[in-house]
Structure 1
Amino acid sequence: MSLFQAREWWAVSAGIQEEYTHGAIALGNVDNDTEHRHLKIVVGSLHGMLRVYYPTQAEFKIEHLLLEEQLEHPILQVEVGNFIPHCKLLGIAVLHPKMLVVYMLEGVGGSGMAASYFKLTKKYEHHLGIDGEHFTAYNMTFGHFGGARDQDQLVVQALDGRLQFFELDRFAFMQQLSTCLVPGVLAYAESIDSILTASSDLCIECYRYQILATSLLKKKKNDDEDAKGVTAAKSLHAEWRTNLGETVLDIKLGRFSTLSKSFDIVVLCEFTLFCLRPSGEIIFQKRLGFHPSAATLYLTDSRSDDESSSQCNIILGTHAKQWMIYNGANLIWSALAPTVSTALAVGNMGGNPGMIVNLDDQGHLSVNYLGTDPPSSTVVAASETKEINYEEMDEEHRTLLNIIRRSQGERRTEPKERILIRAQVPAIFDATGQHYDEDCAKGNRADDDIVLGPDQNPLQITMRVYVTYTGSNIIPNVTLALTVPQNVVLMSESTIHIDAVDGRSSTPLIVPVLLRPSSRAMPLSLEVTISAAYTLESGQPRTSICAVKLPMCMMCRLVPPVKTSTFKFTLDTNQAPPLLADLFQDMLTQPGSTPDWAKQVTGSTANVLSFQYYNGIDVTILVSKNAGRYRIQSSELDALWMVSNELVERLQLLYEASGEDQTPLEIQYQDPLPLADFFGAIDEHFQLRKSVNDLKAEINDRAHEFRVIQKRLLVRFKDRNPSPLNALDLLLHNTYHQILELSKQMEVTQNKLELAANRLSCSVSLLLMLMRYKFALDGPNFSILAAHLSPMISNEDEMGWEEMTEAAVTELLKTSLKSGNKDHTAVLAPEIGFLPDTKKLKKHITIVCDRLGKGALFIGNRNKGDDDNDAKNTE
């Protein structure tokens, strides 16, 4: 749909620095001109200024302002209707925060437009609330309540959800909506004689007027003085409720859908346009790709005045200064609006039907039309006709087609004006750190597991984050969010607020971030993610992300060689091994280490390096003197991951920097996969999950028992002649102590579960690396394997890591790794629930490893054979 500019026919600035609300505009023949019956525009501001305009021609003239009256109170809403008693003249209902006033516009010196001037006459007023109760108005609506055809009645909604009904100049009744937490949109459906409102739980409710009128507040007839003033009401129930799931902005009534027989309820929400039947059923809904600001229904047949029988379209104003026109769920027109619309209306202005009246929050009032203006002059052919060059036309046509194809094929480019983030991380610890104070550490939650150096100072590094803006203006309210791994403690808040970033400055904004290693968890990653969230001048929210890797010293330190080990594996390479001292040179230059200690590590044992994580676990790397073989060993399986990953990354970086003539580095793993030890980590994690679920069920049972005992005690305490407790108090105390003990056990078990999840994540990452080098998986195949055997561990009750991995691995065996016939038939996936045990999961992981070992691939045709026994086991 192409976007056109709406043409402004008439415009005026209704007020200077005045604010206008959504309901501050109304159209009607308010001067009761019986000869012409033209529409006038009534606007009211929060400053209490009421104005009436009558545009008769293009461009504003002072004669178009019929009335300008300063009222005493702010104007929340204005409506035009038959509010004058004992006559059929139109009046203006003005809603103030504490008062509802009905005025009449009268001409002096004549009737209609023949009058010399107009004056505003107050007909009656209603002070909101009864018996001195506090009542602050929010909005109002009007209609022929209860079938009153000749007069329009008014209802005002308060901030607390009370509805106060008025029959012209007489108060009718008041009703309280029990489901109202905050007030919502209000509308009246005449065909079903019902009040429609939006509740705070994102629902549309329909209340019959007869039900509202008969469920009145009645005083009790009681002689007790304390009961005087106590009121009671019949239970008030909605005729129907429809859950929309979004905040309702406006409700319009009219025949909007082609399937409707009487009228539709059109509900505008924050992101969706709903069309409902009078019974509350949703006919259709349209997801909007913009943020709406105002809406109005208009008749497609301008000669008809009956909205219930004639088809209607809707105009939606957006915060991007656009008007979207829908016929049902179809967008039929879009146009650029002069301002962001606060209120919209359609009427006959100056003899022109279908004019759009637009009002914004600053008081700019305009009358617009859609389409184009006719040409002011006729097109005259030139006296001398130029001969047409068809070759130039064909060349121009081909050039334009190429431009169109390139523009459609290219991806959307990022805007040039954006926030850039760059981080500078030192390779060694800070030379001087703040001395560790135990008293201060107790008061800081981040100092519970602070690692101290040999000089009893906390080990720390200061990362500098550079924030720059490529634009030429100032971006306010930039929020930096930092995400660090579990083995790193962030000494500041994880969210940093920056007031403004000046794009005109040549010096970037520097944000220092203090990081310290932690001994709480086994290192899983050294990557820190920094994201910046900001909003451009156009209102578009944007984000910038930067990922930076911390140095190896943030996870471990060098120690003298450790010979004892339980878990080990060997990696073979096709390159001559470098000196480990050169490969890990940064670990030898950390402050706080003595020369003797460094000499002890790198002297005679240059082919052996031992690292100690800050949680006390050691990892040793041994390198062969003659061949490129590296053995990594440790007392824990999960401890092998980070050091081996760091070794592989440094080897790849070393041989990539050697030059193009160098043979590419190839890494192989020949030993069997450590599946038995890996399955032990799975069983430990799964058993702890079961323990957490059992503890939750037991806590729930004890809590239910505690509540039942409380209820029985309360019943006995309320009795005038209570029966004996029969040891209920003792049972209450015992149950309470059981709940406390179970809560402590739950806390301990959850801490163990977090540590087990950390160990399992490290073990999965290690297994993935070994499978990659054992089965020679390329990048795409390894990505598929890592997506199905994910190192991201979930501890949820019903759908944890074991359940998701079991479903993913089973799907692999049924599709990519299927034996025999490779035709993939659609199979309904079973429902995922808590596994009874891990036998199937471990069996399926073993089958995946076997098929990969026989040459199977997720992508490609490197099949060496199939195994029928594996196929039977999978089935």
Structure 2
Amino acid sequence: MSIFKVKQWWSNDKSEGVEFNEGLNNGTCFKVDKFNVHSDSDCLIVGEANILKIYKPNRDHDASHSLMEIDLGVTILQIETGKFIVDSTDRYILVLHPQSYAIYQLYRKEGHIVAGEQNILQPAVKHSFTRKAHSVTCGPFGNIKTRDFICIQALDGSLSFFDQKTFLFLFIFDDVIIPGPICYVANSDSFVICKSTWVIEIHSYQQLREFSELNARQNKKNIPQWMYNAGEEISSVQVIQTSSNMSSVIALGERHLCCFQDNGLMKYTIKFDFMPMCFSAYLIGWYYEPTARLLVMVASEDSKLYIYEGTTLLWSCNLLHQAIAISRCFLKYLPGGLATLSASGVICVSYLGTEPDLNANTPSMVNDNIDPEQVQTELEMVEETLQKVLDGNEDADSQYPSVEQIIKIKADVGKPVQNLFEQFAKDTDEALYLLMCPVVVILTCEDPNSIHSVQITYDCCPPFTCSDTILCLDTVNGTEIIETQVFVSTESDISNSRVKISFTVTDLKGKINVLTREVVLPLSLYCSPAEEVFDNEFKLLVETNQSVVDITEIFTDFTKEELLKHGRSHDITFVYRATKKTVTVKAIDKQYSIEANDITDITSVLLNLITRLNEHNARKNLNDFRFNVTIDVEMAKQITHRFLKSIEGHAKERNKLNSLEEELRVLQRQFTLIQKKLLVQYGALPPGDCDPLEFLLKDTQQRLIKCVHEIINCRNTTRKAGNRLAAIGQLLVFIFRKKIKDDFKVKLIEEMLTLGTLYDDYQDWEEAVTQALTYILNNVFQKSEKDKEKLAPVTEQGILSHINLKRFLKQIRVLLDKLFVEARGEKDVENRVTRIEEFVEVI
């Protein structure tokens, strides 16, 4: 990193804030330096895959921080800056690629006006080499102060030296298995090399040059000037000049930070009680001043920043993200800034005050005197404006038509078509035939110039999956027809066959409007007619105020021939395509009967039946159509029992998954430790006995592979258990919505169950329900003394623990009993609540 004259970061004022925050995708490396064309402020050079980006942060948050972006066409491994060209005072940019490097000059081409200025990256040198590169270090090797030379470390640990595009010499280490950090000490003209044997060595440049020639002729061994066994892997090393004739070498290990003089004398070492991720050392003052101070800032794995002077901790604060690279920067209006690069590719420039707060979402604050009455007046104006927005009475927008008037939306589903999907099992040649249902959206815009963009988001419940989750339209010209496909992705129960489509419309004024539409997937997508089944364990009756309609007229996505092939017009059996389970629909007098051997199979067909009945009666202009669900005491007990069993099964699978993931973490740490010890054994002279470690490494690898496969299978099982839980939960919500008159209470129950949160990758349902369940039981329902005994408070252990899950199931049982009693219109009798052990096994 470049060393500049700096001031202290902490002062007597309380100014803290952020000047720059830029999101990157897969940001790989970055460098901070100053150039002649931008001498008033540092520039941030970022390598992102093949793209090189250069930023110049400034105080104006409305202005762009970006100077330029260029696609180099080759992966960027590392970025360095220096004086690589003879007779040039400017600093150049060196970009390292896997088998080449390029040197660029950044210059600015002025236009007739300020906005016409262009930043251009002019290639100066391009050179290729044969060995695949790992890293690069630069400096005035050989004490030649006119320019910087280039040292490239290959993947085999060898060092190749270059002057511009001229190859100088190659040095090969015989005890390096994998490359490590390397750094150049300009003060002593030597290199700090961290080997895979956890040893730090110092080799002079002249020594490397001489022995590279001797190795070719006499095979002599190079002896380092000094060495240090760190006892752990060194992740990074930095050299900083601290006096006129001395430099400091700082090395960061897994748990320690060591500081040496360049002659090998250790100055101090720090043992951390956290896992360090990266560090950066800097001076306060000039190196030739006796009062100069060496400070080291370290970023930890838990997103914290620590600043040390020697072994003394001067400062600590929280970072906004986990930093994988950190550096200091000097902006025009910010003498000392902190630049960090996160693992997710976000580079952020912040600064510290007396109350350190690296808040990347707020501009810097000035300690001006503020009138409290003025602040209160502004707050009242903002509240009044927001209230107008909420009420839809904005005076400013009254002259403009609403988004609903500009855009007309029509959403519908098409007929499912058959597609072939190969099974992932390698030992079979079987193929699973699934259907894909097209969901068609027609957007009609009367005034395309009034719309900036439209984003369409599709949301469906598992096991349904959309081929396109999000679609973006920059313009809507006249009528746009958008089609996406929905299909069944896994063999599990179906809880909801609706697809919710959200339209996020941004107008030219920047106002965002969200419109929603909902379509019902046809029954033919996931069911097909089958042979009639007469004996079913569960039966749910739906009574209507109209005469029943032939089933062939309700499920119109099937032809009459398909429905009557195996059954009658008032008695049809369907089979689920994925699970092969059956459900029978019967039409008798003024009621419909949905029968199945499992309660989960009733939900999707029941909801589809109700939707189709409403559509059929709407076509017949029968607006007074009403229906009701018949639930007796025995049916309520069965549904409650199955719901509790589904929760128990879901919790068991989650516990198993958590234990497997913990086992995987242990195996990963064990595998890494064995690797490191094996590298030390390989690099020892003479090499040690590696057979036991190799056996452990192979055994750990096999256990890792087996554990990963078990996790994949367990995740699939957990998702199926979550779909089963959601299916019964949707049935409960449907029943309570029809049987309980208090709509607010039903809404609370529906929000408490949060069945929509059971996504494929998110199964923490029990934790989400616990708090809401306790609130509803304590505030919505009246508790008796016996209820207070049963509803003991949850302990501090996790909700999936044995005792907490048992209490959670008991609370669910009490709640469902109260709701079913209210649904049947009966009084809540104490003896109606039976012990949960009668229905649910204790884990």
Shorter-chain TM-score range: 0.5 to 0.7
Partner AA of 2:642 in structure 1: D
Equivalent in the alignment of 2:645: 680
- Give yes or no for the alignment of 1:578 onto 2:553: no
Structure 2: distance between partners of 1:719 and 1:572? 83
Higher relative contact order (CA 8 A, sep 6+): 2
Structure 2: distance between partners of 1:720 and 1:797? 49
CA RMSD of aligned residues (A): 6.1
Equivalent in the alignment of 2:670: 705
Equivalent in the alignment of 2:743: 779
Structure 2: distance between partners of 1:331 and 1:426? 56
Q: CA deviation at 1:600?
A: 3.1
Equivalent in the alignment of 2:127: none
- Match of 1:521, SS? coil
Q: CA deviation at 1:685?
A: 1.5
Q: Report Cα offsets for 1:202-247 as digits up to 9, x if no partner.
A: 99999632689669999xxxxxxxxxxxxxxx97999535446399
Structure 2: distance between partners of 1:668 and 1:99? 80
Structure 2: distance between partners of 1:471 and 1:161? 61
Q: Quick one: which of 437, 442, 452 aligns to 1:466?
A: 442
Q: CA deviation at 1:702?
A: 3.0
- Match of 2:809, SS? helix
Equivalent in the alignment of 2:221: none
Q: Quick one: which of 668, 682, 690 aligns to 2:655?
A: 690
How is 1:297-312 mapped onto 2 (pairs within 5 angstroms)? none
Equivalent in the alignment of 1:376: none
CA contact (8 A) 2:496 2:727 kept: no
- Give yes or no for the alignment of 1:610 onto 2:573: yes
- Match of 1:528, SS? strand
Aligned residue pairs total 558
- Match of 2:810, SS? helix
Q: Report Cα offsets for 1:281-316 as digits up to 9, x if no partner.
A: 25x99998xx86xx796xxxxxxxxxxxxxx63xxx
Structure 1: distance between partners of 2:376 and 2:91? 33
- Give yes or no for the alignment of 1:561 onto 2:532: yes
Structure 2: distance between partners of 1:714 and 1:178? 19
Structure 1: distance between partners of 2:442 and 2:646? 41
Structure 2: distance between partners of 1:733 and 1:839? 42
Equivalent in the alignment of 1:281: 355
CA contact (8 A) 2:284 2:293 kept: no
Equivalent in the alignment of 2:585: 621
Q: CA deviation at 1:508?
A: 0.9
Partner AA of 2:816 in structure 1: C
CA contact (8 A) 1:451 1:459 kept: no
- Match of 1:764, SS? helix
Equivalent in the alignment of 1:9: none
Equivalent in the alignment of 1:769: 734
| Structure-2 change in CA distance of 1:685 and 1:404 (3 Å) | closer
Q: Quick one: which of 609, 614, 622 aligns to 1:647?
A: 609
Equivalent in the alignment of 2:768: 804
CA contact (8 A) 1:204 1:243 kept: no
Q: Quick one: which of 710, 728, 744 aligns to 1:745?
A: 710
Equivalent in the alignment of 1:494: 469
- Give yes or no for the alignment of 1:842 onto 2:809: yes
| Structure-2 change in CA distance of 1:771 and 1:533 (3 Å) | closer
Aligned-residue identity in percent: 16
Equivalent in the alignment of 1:729: 694
CA contact (8 A) 2:681 2:688 kept: yes
Q: Report Cα offsets for 1:654-677 as digits up to 9, x if no partner.
A: 556766884743433224312222
Q: Report Cα offsets for 1:746-799 as digits up to 9, x if no partner.
A: 2212111111111111122123323444x5344322111112233245589998
CA contact (8 A) 1:501 1:509 kept: no
Q: CA deviation at 1:99?
A: 11
| Structure-2 change in CA distance of 1:820 and 1:564 (3 Å) | closer
Q: CA deviation at 1:681?
A: 1.9
Partner AA of 1:511 in structure 2: I
Q: CA deviation at 1:525?
A: 2.1
CA contact (8 A) 2:529 2:575 kept: yes
Structure 2: distance between partners of 1:733 and 1:46? 48
Q: Which has the larger radius of gyration?
A: 1
CA contact (8 A) 1:668 1:776 kept: no
CA contact (8 A) 1:692 1:746 kept: yes
Partner AA of 2:575 in structure 1: Q
Structure 2: distance between partners of 1:404 and 1:274? 33
Partner AA of 2:744 in structure 1: P
| Structure-2 change in CA distance of 1:853 and 1:241 (3 Å) | closer
- Match of 1:562, SS? coil
Equivalent in the alignment of 1:508: 479
- Match of 1:509, SS? strand
| Structure-2 change in CA distance of 1:163 and 1:578 (3 Å) | same
- Match of 1:757, SS? helix
Equivalent in the alignment of 2:179: none
Equivalent in the alignment of 1:209: 285
| Structure-2 change in CA distance of 1:600 and 1:538 (3 Å) | closer
Structure 1: distance between partners of 2:687 and 2:339? 58
Structure 1: distance between partners of 2:249 and 2:690? 43
Structure 2: distance between partners of 1:609 and 1:238? 76
How is 1:251-270 mapped onto 2 (pairs within 5 angstroms)? none
Structure 2: distance between partners of 1:46 and 1:740? 44
Partner AA of 2:469 in structure 1: S
- Give yes or no for the alignment of 1:422 onto 2:409: yes
CA contact (8 A) 1:699 1:739 kept: yes
Structure 2: distance between partners of 1:177 and 1:408? 57
Structure 1 regions of 5+ residues with no counterpart?
A: 1-19, 25-44, 48-71, 77-95, 101-127, 136-159, 166-170, 180-200, 219-233, 255-263, 298-311, 314-325, 336-402, 453-457, 590-594
| Structure-2 change in CA distance of 1:869 and 1:670 (3 Å) | closer
Equivalent in the alignment of 1:483: 459
CA contact (8 A) 1:46 1:75 kept: no
| Structure-2 change in CA distance of 1:869 and 1:208 (3 Å) | farther
Equivalent in the alignment of 2:819: 852
Partner AA of 2:610 in structure 1: V
- Give yes or no for the alignment of 1:791 onto 2:767: no
Structure 1: distance between partners of 2:148 and 2:648? 66
- Match of 1:727, SS? helix
- Give yes or no for the alignment of 1:133 onto 2:169: no
CA contact (8 A) 1:421 1:546 kept: no
How is 1:330-341 mapped onto 2 (pairs within 5 angstroms)? none
Structure 1: distance between partners of 2:442 and 2:286? 67
Structure 2: distance between partners of 1:640 and 1:215? 80
| Structure-2 change in CA distance of 1:544 and 1:581 (3 Å) | closer
- Give yes or no for the alignment of 1:240 onto 2:315: yes
- Match of 1:639, SS? helix
Q: Report Cα offsets for 1:355-379 as digits up to 9, x if no partner.
A: xxxxxxxxxxxxxxxxxxxxxxxxx
Structure 2 regions of 5+ residues with no counterpart?
A: 1-36, 42-64, 68-87, 93-103, 109-138, 151-235, 253-276, 295-308, 341-345, 379-383, 837-843
Of residues 660-669 and 680-689 in structure 1, the stretch that sits farther from structure 2 once superposed is 660-669
Q: Quick one: which of 410, 427, 440 aligns to 2:391?
A: 410
Structure 2: distance between partners of 1:286 and 1:328? 25
CA contact (8 A) 1:202 1:244 kept: no
| Structure-2 change in CA distance of 1:406 and 1:474 (3 Å) | closer
Of residues 243-252 and 701-710 in structure 1, the stretch that sits farther from structure 2 once superposed is 243-252
Structure 1: distance between partners of 2:431 and 2:602? 23
Structure 2: distance between partners of 1:416 and 1:175? 68
Structure 2: distance between partners of 1:451 and 1:682? 30
| Structure-2 change in CA distance of 1:704 and 1:245 (3 Å) | closer
Equivalent in the alignment of 1:369: none
CA contact (8 A) 1:467 1:510 kept: yes
| Structure-2 change in CA distance of 1:131 and 1:73 (3 Å) | closer
| Structure-2 change in CA distance of 1:563 and 1:765 (3 Å) | same
- Match of 1:585, SS? coil
